């Protein structure tokens, strides 16, 4: 194949499957362990920062489950799903109907009383309309109605030779309760699955979301801490990052190769985050093909690639912060451990040594809460904070070098 006709093997994108999934063997083994449960005692939460590969890993779990006779349903959790209890119930019923629409529920003969004849009810399939009818006819609250639907599905499923059903939902941090409206969709989801699992019905929840998700689950139902095995996806280590860079090129028999120096640059700048590895490698590959066409020496234009990454990935998130919030974020970025965890007191102390007006604890607490709502910060269960966006500290430092945090905006 002509070098210039060769397709770039790297695929950065939201949830796009990379050409090679590196470094997730332990997470895969943990999921397989959960599939072997006779009684569902643990469900799964996959959590981590954006760009760490949660959606991609979830997609690789699907065939693993299906190979072991599990059915798989699910979707992305949009905010409308979590508006009301009925909305989330309809979400589950809609997803279930995809696999149950060809399941036939056999009729039963109803014996007549006295001189009345026997009545044979007609067979029916568990399509969407049947499931909705069962939901509507069941007595009780929304949770009772949903449990009734799930129990009907389980009885019908025994004829399908399936071990159980995986309910897989991405972006599950969008789930929440609404006390002011007396709507508790997240609590309902947890209560329903805990109830049916106690009845030994093998329906398992697999949720993926940002690091705020485990805390939200516990706040909704304290027992959810015992319901879930929480797996935090970390960045790739050096060996795994190298594998993610080189293996796709080797498998695709690419006409260009990265030198050890180029690989080291990618590892350093990407921080081991799978999305950034894909993004940077794609840009380098495209540049090298072009320079090979022009008969020029291939180099790694890392500053230009970082500038493009800033615009494509960081700029939209950064624009959500006010000027004063950006000053606070700049203080955080100056902490030596800004990419791990930090406290309010550390921010207050650090602000005394930076340019601009220092911050008081009350101001920091209030602003961190607002930044959490904007998706830039999250608070863990130990009361410490972290950036919700990977390598945000490095981005902020680059902005400080470019016209005091405002070059892009």
Average pLDDT, stretch 299-328? 89
CB 147 within 8 A of CB 129: no
Tell me the pLDDT band of 349, cut-offs 50, 70 and 90: very high
Strand partners, 208: 46
Model pLDDT, residue 199: 95
Model pLDDT, residue 206: 98
- Between 381 and 354, the more confident residue is 354
CB 183 within 8 A of CB 170: no
Q: Is residue 369 scored above 80 in pLDDT?
A: yes
The most confident of 1-5, 146-150, 222-226, by mean pLDDT = 146-150
H or E segment to which residue 379 belongs: strand 377-379
Tell me the pLDDT band of 405, cut-offs 50, 70 and 90: very low
Q: Is residue 270 scored above 60 in pLDDT?
A: yes
Average pLDDT, stretch 38-63? 93
Among residues 329, 291, 284, which one has the least CA distance to residue 309?
A: 284
Cα of first residue to Cα of last residue in the chain, in angstroms, is 43
Q: Is residue 10 scored above 90 in pLDDT?
A: no
- Give the orientation angle of helix 142-157 with respect to helix 185-198, to 10 degrees: 40
CA distance 153 to 55: 27
Domains and CATH numbers, the chain: 3-16+236-300 (no CATH), 25-232 (3.40.50.300), 317-401 (1.10.10.10)
Which burial class, exposed, middle or buried, applies to 389 when counting CB atoms under 10 A from its CB (0-12, 13-18, 19+)? buried
Model pLDDT, residue 123: 75
What does the mean pLDDT of the chain come to? 87
Which burial class, exposed, middle or buried, applies to 208 when counting CB atoms under 10 A from its CB (0-12, 13-18, 19+)? buried
Beta strands in 183-339 (DSSP E): 203-209, 228-232
Model pLDDT, residue 403: 54
Strand partners, 228: 43
Q: Is residue 401 scored above 60 in pLDDT?
A: yes
**Portion of the chain with pLDDT greater than 90, in percent:** 58
Model pLDDT, residue 15: 65
Backbone angles phi, psi at 55, to 5 degrees: -65, -40
Residue 355, SS3?
Answer: coil
pLDDT digits (tens, 9 = 90+) for 165-206: 999 999 999 999 999 999 999 999 999 999 999 999 999 999
H or E segment to which residue 359 belongs: none
CB 217 within 8 A of CB 224: yes
Model pLDDT, residue 407: 41
DSSP per-residue string spanning 209-233: E-THHHHHHHHH-TTHHHHEEEEEP
Tell me the pLDDT band of 406, cut-offs 50, 70 and 90: very low
pTM: 0.85
CA distance 196 to 281: 46
Among residues 252, 268, 251, 248, which one has the least CA distance to residue 260?
A: 268
CB 392 within 8 A of CB 333: yes
Tell me the pLDDT band of 295, cut-offs 50, 70 and 90: low
Average pLDDT, stretch 122-147? 92
Residue 98 token pair? 């995809």
Q: Is residue 356 scored above 80 in pLDDT?
A: no
Maximal C-alpha separation, the chain: 97
Q: Is residue 343 scored above 90 in pLDDT?
A: yes
Tell me the pLDDT band of 109, cut-offs 50, 70 and 90: very low
Backbone angles phi, psi at 183, to 5 degrees: -125, 130
Q: Is residue 107 scored above 70 in pLDDT?
A: no
CA distance 134 to 37: 29
CA atoms within 13 A on the CB side of 21: 18
Burial code (b: 16+ CB inside 10 Å, e: under 16) for 212-226 equals bbbebbbebbeebee
Q: Is residue 118 scored above 80 in pLDDT?
A: no
CA distance 107 to 116: 19
CA atoms within 13 A on the CB side of 62: 14
CB 53 within 8 A of CB 15: no
pLDDT digits (tens, 9 = 90+) for 211-265: 989 989 999 999 999 999 999 999 999 999 999 999 888 877 777 778 899 899 9
CB 308 within 8 A of CB 283: yes
């Amino acid at each position: 194949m002509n070098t210039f006709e060769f397709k770039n093997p790297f695929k950065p994108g939201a949830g796009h499957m990379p050409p090679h999934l590196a470094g997730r063997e332990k997470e895969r083994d943990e999921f397989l362990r959960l599939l072997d449960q006779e009684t569902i005692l643990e469900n799964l939460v996959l959590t981590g920062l954006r760009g760490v590969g949660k959606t991609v890993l979830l997609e690789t779990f699907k065939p693993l489950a299906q190979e072991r006779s599990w059915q798989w349903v699910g979707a992305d959790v949009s905010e409308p799903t979590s508006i009301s209890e009925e909305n989330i119930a309809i979400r589950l019923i809609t997803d279930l109907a995809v696999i149950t629409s060809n399941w036939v529920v056999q009729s039963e003969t109803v014996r007549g009383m006295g001189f009345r004849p026997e009545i044979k009810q007609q067979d029916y399939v568990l399509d969407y309309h049947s499931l909705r009818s069962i939901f509507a006819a069941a007595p009780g609250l929304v949770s009772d109605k949903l449990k009734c639907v799930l129990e009907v599905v389980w009885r019908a499923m025994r004829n399908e030779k399936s071990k159980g059903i995986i309910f897989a939902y991405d972006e599950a941090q969008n789930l929440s309760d609404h006390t002011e409206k007396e709507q508790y969709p997240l609590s309902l989801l947890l209560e329903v699955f805990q109830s049916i699992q106690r009845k030994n019905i093998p329906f398992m929840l697999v949720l993926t979301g940002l690091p705020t998700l485990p805390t939200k689950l516990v706040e909704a139902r304290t027992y959810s801490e015992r319901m879930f095995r929480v797996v935090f996806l970390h960045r790739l280590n050096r060996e795994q990052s190298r594998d993610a860079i080189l293996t796709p090129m080797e498998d695709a028999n690419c006409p260009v190769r990265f030198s050890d120096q180029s690989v080291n640059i990618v590892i350093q700048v990407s921080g081991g985050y799978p999305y950034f590895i894909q993004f940077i490698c794609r840009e380098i590959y495209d540049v090298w093909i072009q320079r090979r066409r022009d008969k020029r020496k291939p180099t790694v234009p890392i500053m230009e690639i970082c500038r493009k990454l800033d615009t494509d990935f960081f700029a939209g998130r950064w624009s959500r912060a006010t000027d004063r919030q950006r000053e606070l974020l700049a203080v955080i970025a100056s902490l030596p451990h800004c990419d791990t965890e930090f406290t309010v007191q550390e921010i207050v102390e650090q602000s005394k040594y930076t340019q601009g007006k220092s911050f008081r604890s009350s101001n920091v607490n209030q602003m961190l809460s607002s930044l959490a709502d904007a998706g830039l910060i999250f608070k863990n269960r130990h009361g410490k904070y972290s950036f919700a966006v990977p390598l945000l500290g490095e981005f902020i430092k680059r902005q400080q070098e470019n016209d005091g945090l405002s070059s892009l905006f």
